[in-house]
Amino acid sequence: MLDTSSSLTPVLNIAQTLLEVEKGKQQAITPLIIAEKVDHATAVVSASLSDADREFIIAELIRRFSHWIGRDSALEDTHDHIAWLVSERKKDWRYWQRYQTMLERKLSVSVVEALDKSTDGILSKLEDPTREGNWDRRGLVVGHVQSGKTGNYSGLVCKAADAGYKVIIVLAGLHNNLRSQTQIRLEESFLGYETSENRDRGTPVGVGLIDSDPRIHPNCATTRADNGDFNAGVARQFAISPEQRPWLFVVKKQKTVLTQLLKWIRGHVADSTDAATGRKIVTNLPLLVIDDEADNASVDTGEQVFDSDGVPDDEHQPTAINSLIRKIIHSFAKSAYVGYTATPFANIFIHRRGATNEEGLDLFPQSFIINLAAPSNYVGPARVFGLSSPEGRSEGLPLTSFITDHVKQEAPDHPDGWMPGKHKKDHVPLFDGQAVPPPSLIKAIHSFVLACAARKCRGQGREHSSMLIHVTRFTSVQGEVREQVEAVVNSMRQKLTHKVDHQGLLSGLRQLWEEDFVPTSQVLQKPLESHGERLLIPEWAAIAEVLPDVVRDIIVRVVNGTAKDALDYSDQSEVGLKVIAIGGDKLARGLTLEGLCTSYFVRTTKMYDTLMQMGRWFGYRPGYLDLCRLYTSEDLVEWFKHIADASEELREEFDAMAERGDTPENYGLRVQSHSVLLVTSPLKMRTSKELQLSFSGELLETVSLFKTDVRLTRNLTATEDLIRGMGQPNERNPTRMRAGNESKWTGSYLWKGVSADLIADFFGNYLTHPDAHKVKSNLLADFVRQMARSNELTSWTVVMIGGGEGRPHRFGNDIYIDMLKRKDETSGPEKYSIGRLLSPRDEAIDLDDDAWQAALSLTIRTWEATGGKRSSRPSQPEVPNGPAVRRIRGKGAAGVTAAPERGLLLLYALDPCEARPSDALNHGFENDDLPVIAFGVSFPSSDNGVKVTYQVDHLRWEQEYGAGE
């Protein structure tokens, strides 16, 4: 994104205005038209542009006119809510108007319009701040990691202030630099001026350059300084209460800060006392609390007791941060709380009825949950790692390199390597006995330098560029890493700038450029053009020419709780900061790394929310996505792929629930039943002993499988026992009509009306791999038996899928299967890991044509409700998705009878000889003749509420998933 202070801005703004006029005439905005308007604008302002600057402006405008945002979806409980937001109320809104104008100078009008609609949707679910009486609305906005949530809540803050909310508190993370970063963003988007140490209004910035009328200047009790948070000294100075203009507080989620803020509210703002409790309350000023990263620190991790009727113990003592946030909200008669997060699972586990006398209600988003649509140019897990398909993973970006040399070494004195997964705070990172980085980190640094050089050649030299090194949480170890990284950068600087002993370095950089960057850019050229990107792949001579300047500009910073280093992007807006940031927890959540190009990431955790928040490489990479690189371990990539699939499935489920008009409570129950995406700290789930799981409405499939003979034999025996118990199949080569066309499962066998006992016995005898996080066969057996007692899942359809390209195998006397091929994605000795087992059409094999059509109609309705052609799937679905299939099977539809008794078990025999890559000599299987039995199970949707218990304690949790936050 072009900085508004750039000298290129006048040309870009005029060209964009001219293009908006063309767009209003229904004229297609082509690269040729964009180039013409840029030349026209250049002539208008009598500017002199270099070829690189002209190309940069053209590329920026191509991106702006190619992007779109889908529609948000929402679950809402309208109890005691009065609709109020109409156009009439927005006529004289000035805070939003100037923010909108500022955005239109950076973004296309269509993207700004989408933000306008999105923030209207959120604001409308809050109460009218002028409404009389007492009211309390609590909601959650779920975005994507690094997707622009700050921009969204900045818009909400502007509109809330316009509407009449007088006290606006933004809870901005746990650390000073994150709070300061948020303060700066809100100065630009809402305040319009830089805050100074004495809280006076400083230099106009952002929206203040558009409308600086002092009559609308909001008051602010915090500043952008590192120590600019609310404190006792500030509280003593601010002996006045908000009146005409709104007050903004940007504060950390820290006990001392929130305690002082609560005292100030009760001492200087409260105008009444609650007769029953003696609490001081504010009756005349409506409150809005924005909780950024709402799943972090805000959730009460204490164990609250509920009686047999579900009534909470009002003497419960919540954890400190949760308690203070709730007390602040409870101090206002008119209040609204909106949490923002990309990982909402801890928030969903908050008890719906949790409350105490002192704190009031807990922070469960009882009023609404909104799922923000991602813009078309957002680069998230599904785009980076792809999504599963029957042929394996597809459409992932070729930007990831696996690393092992950070741990694996032959040096006898340091067998654990440079940075072992588990180490102590006094660990000294040594490679081959020396205090130097491993070759993979040196290569990553070289990649970053090349990315900076290529961006300079593309006209992005004034843009920020960052590298992330995230290898340890210990600050002392981070300091050691910094010294080693600085030594590498200094050596490069010496050689390239003084041209002394530089030929070897130049040769290695050229080889990396020509063997990695050039072919990767060529592969991505066509798909990026479809997203509005126009790639210039510089020649090596151009890269080599700018390398000395680039490497001179690179600085190395440690970002942690004790370091004084700061990522001073705002101070470098004219020239662009080029920084290698080394850190741990501060870089793991919330803090934005501008222009992140290269990531070196070896932290070990499998907790969904922690891992996703550590994924700083997600976000927007305009004009340089092909230059980005991720260096990490194969295990972490495998887990990211796993949760990318699960996240996509849960978002589909959310959209389907929104289309049905479900409430946040329904979604909470759905998340708690999900056997992968509940992966958050057990403390946040209010229990350290058990997880309550329901599999209703779930699709489970085994993608982590064994390679050893004894386990493969056990699972083969379980399968043969099931086939023998089912008798002769009802169908061979099943055929179904699908939208007038015949769909056939050649070489497959289907059984109907299979008893729950047989299915439960199969699950009980089958051994799932410990890494099959989503599928625990013993839990499945228990769940089937419990559901059968409620007369559900009593009559199963079982299909043995054949017709593969592998070798034939015989089950029993007359079941002959051509085994399927699934590539081993790890090629390791311990585990056979595949991308996707099921073909999407397999899950609907038990639906007749009417049910199939009903599931397709439901899928299309959900697709249309969430943006249609402007959603993440631009083509109208031609087959029903899994959530729709499971809902129609379990709950029926017009003309389709519900069948909650009918589960679907799909059996697959995989050929181990076909698992290994063609160039692998050893695939790890002990016996090539034993088929690998995998299964998928599709449970119909149900409101039965039956759950099974998964016992887990803190030690087991940490061993399995790693430490939490």
pLDDT tens-digit profile of 96-153? 999 999 998 887 777 888 899 999 999 999 999 999 999 999 999 988 877 778 899 9
Lowest mean pLDDT, pick from 336-345, 352-361, 741-750, 762-771 = 352-361
- Residue 884's closest CA among 653, 557, 584, 555? 653
pLDDT tens digits along 655-673: 877 877 888 877 654 544 4
Question: H/E element holding 910?
Answer: strand 904-910
Does the structure show a pLDDT above 50 at 155?
A: yes
Q: At residue 75, does pLDDT exceed 70?
A: yes
Lowest mean pLDDT among 198-212, 514-528, 669-683: 669-683
Distance CA 819, CA 817 (A): 6
Residue 611 near residue 639 (C-beta atoms within 8 A)? yes
Instruction: From 374, 397, 399, 378, select the one nearest 531 (Cα to Cα).
Output: 378
User: Please, what is the Cα angle at 274 between 268 and 277, to 5 degrees?
Assistant: 115
Reading phi first (left if > 0) and then psi (alpha if -120 to 50, else beta), residue 277 is in: alpha
Asked whether the beta carbons of 403 and 602 are under 8 A apart, the reply is yes
pLDDT-derived band at 893, boundaries 50, 70, 90: very high
Contact 595, 578 (CB under 8 A): no
Tokens of 694: 């329901």
Q: Which residue has the higher pLDDT, 202 or 724?
A: 724
d(CA 20, CA 29): 9
| Residue 325 token pair | 């946030």
Give the strand pairing for 334-341 and 287-292. parallel
Question: How many angstroms separate the CA atoms of 300 and 684, rounded?
Answer: 7
**Could you give the percent of the chain with pLDDT greater than 90?**
45
CA 748/CA 761 separation, integer angstroms: 22
pLDDT computed for residue 391 by the predictor: 47
Give the Cα separation of 922 and 935 in Å (integer).
Answer: 25
d(CA 191, CA 250): 12
The residue length of the chain stands at 965
Taking the CB of residue 604, how many other CB atoms lie within 10 A of it?
A: 14
Amino acid sitting at position 126 = L
Token readout for 486 is 């600085």
If one compares 865 and 329, the residue with the highest pLDDT of the two is 329
Query: CA end-to-end span of the chain, whole Å?
Result: 32
Q: How far is CA 524 from CA 38, 201, 540, 770, in A?
A: 26, 47, 19, 37
CA atoms of 380 and 373, how far apart (whole Å): 12
Question: Are 172 and 140 contacting, i.e. CB atoms less than 8 angstroms apart?
Answer: no
Which residue from 326, 411, 308, 11 is spatially nearest to 138, judged by alpha carbons? 326
E-state strands within 372-513: 387-389, 392-394, 400-402, 465-470
The model's confidence at residue 826, banded by pLDDT at 50, 70 and 90, is low
| Sequence-separated (6 or more) residues with CB below 8 Å from residue 293 | 173, 340, 341, 589, 590, 613
CA pair distance 40, 11, nearest whole angstrom? 9
Q: pLDDT tens-digit profile of 895-939?
A: 999 999 999 999 999 998 876 654 444 566 877 788 999 999 999
Distances (CA, A) of 291 to 137, 154, 329: 14, 12, 12
Tokens, residue 752:
């109907």
Q: Is the dihedral of CA 706, 709, 712, 718 positive or negative?
A: negative
Whole-number percent of the chain with pLDDT over 70:
82
Q: What is the mean pLDDT of residues 431-448?
A: 95
Residue 608: pLDDT over 70: no
CA dihedral 716, 774, 940, 882 (to 10 degrees): -100
Evaluate if pTM is beyond 0.85.
no
CA dist 365 and 392 (Å) reads 37
pLDDT of 235 strictly over 80: no
- Give the separation between CA 531 and CA 755, rounded to whole angstroms: 50
**817 pLDDT exceeds 80?**
yes
Q: Does residue 660 or residue 446 have the better pLDDT?
A: 446
C-alpha span between 107 and 97 (Å, rounded):
15
Please report the DSSP string for 246-281 in residue order. -EEEEE-S-HHHHHHHHHHIIIII--EE-TTT--EE
Residue 441 pLDDT exceeds 50: yes
Query: What is the rounded average pLDDT of the residues 936-950?
Result: 83
Amino acid letter, 932:
V
Q: Per-residue confidence at 619, pLDDT binned at 50, 70, 90?
A: confident
Q: Which of 103-112, 299-308, 682-691 has the lowest mean pLDDT?
A: 682-691
**19 pLDDT above the threshold of 70:** yes
pLDDT digits (tens, 9 = 90+) for 135-145: 999 999 988 87
3-state secondary structure 859-892: HHHHHHHCCHHHCCCCCCCCCCCHHHHHHHHHHC
Cα separation, 650 vs 147, in Å, equals 18
Q: Quick check: 508 pLDDT over 90?
A: yes
Task: Judge whether residue 678 has pLDDT over 80.
Answer: no
How far is residue 178 from each of residues 150, 346, 416, 585, measured CA to CA in Å?
12, 21, 34, 11
Helical pair 51-64 and 31-44, crossing angle rounded to 10 deg: 120
| pLDDT computed for residue 266 by the predictor | 92
Q: Which long-range contacts (CB under 8 A, 24 or more apart) does 738-744 make?
A: 738/841, 738/849, 738/852, 738/879, 739/852, 739/853, 739/856, 739/878, 743/841
In this structure, of 344-353, 381-390, 660-669, the range with the lowest mean pLDDT score is 344-353
Of all helices (H) and strands (E), which one includes residue 670?
helix 664-672
Question: Which residue ranges form the domains of the chain, and what is each CATH number?
Answer: 9-64 (no CATH), 93-371 (3.40.50.300), 381-640 (no CATH), 695-904+931-946 (no CATH)
Distance CA 557, CA 540 (A): 29
* Longest pairwise C-alpha distance within the chain: 88
> Which residue(s) pair with 171 in the sheet?
251, 291
Give the mean pLDDT of the chain.
84
Residue 847 has what DSSP assignment?
A: -
> Which of 85-94, 287-296, 797-806, 873-882 is predicted least confidently?
873-882
Per-residue pLDDT tens digits for 183-226: 999 999 999 999 877 666 778 999 999 998 988 989 899 998 88
Crossing angle for the helix pair 540-553 and 475-498, to the nearest 10 degrees: 130
More confident residue, 287 or 863: 287
- pLDDT the model gives residue 552: 95
Exposed, middle or buried by CB within 10 Å (0-12, 13-18, 19+), for 841? middle
Lowest mean pLDDT among 150-164, 186-200, 534-548: 186-200
Closest residue by Cα to residue 247 from 123, 175, 321, 332 = 332
- CB under 8 Å to 113, separation ≥6 — which residues? none
> How far apart are alpha carbons 290 and 168 in whole angstroms?
8
Q: Where are the beta strands (DSSP E) in 657-768?
A: 690-693, 699-701, 704-705, 731-732, 735-738, 741-744, 749-755
Q: Which residues are 142's β-sheet partners? A: 341, 371
